[in-house]
Amino acid sequence: MSKILIHLGWIFFVYSENERAHLHIYKKGKKRSRSAKIFLEKNGKRELEWAAYGDYKKEVAKIEKIINDNYDELVETVKKSMSGIKVKPIKK
């Protein structure tokens, strides 16, 4: 599991190399919570596509705002991580 972004208690991470660019998301301090999964691109174009909301369906707007504010950095870091390059998380 590679952490990509840490922002106000939210952890954005990647742990698969075989799919298109996506993030898994969870919030620190929540025990036994299911992470959300969101794809960052569709057909090579910028488009957020939710694959799973996990326990965060009520917080979709917050998560999308964080992603949109850091989109370019996230995509670049996710692609590096998925290609096997070790990355350090972006801390905001």
Q: How are beta strands 45-52 and 90-91 bridged, if at all?
A: unpaired
Q: Which of 37, 34, 29 minimizes the C-alpha distance to 63?
A: 37
State the DSSP code for 19.
Answer: S
For 8-28, write each residue's pLDDT tens digit: 889 999 876 677 888 999 998
For 61-78, write each residue's pLDDT tens digit: 999 999 999 999 998 998
Summarize the confidence of residues 51-57 as an average pLDDT.
93
Question: Mean pLDDT for the chain?
Answer: 88
What does pTM read for this prediction? 0.86
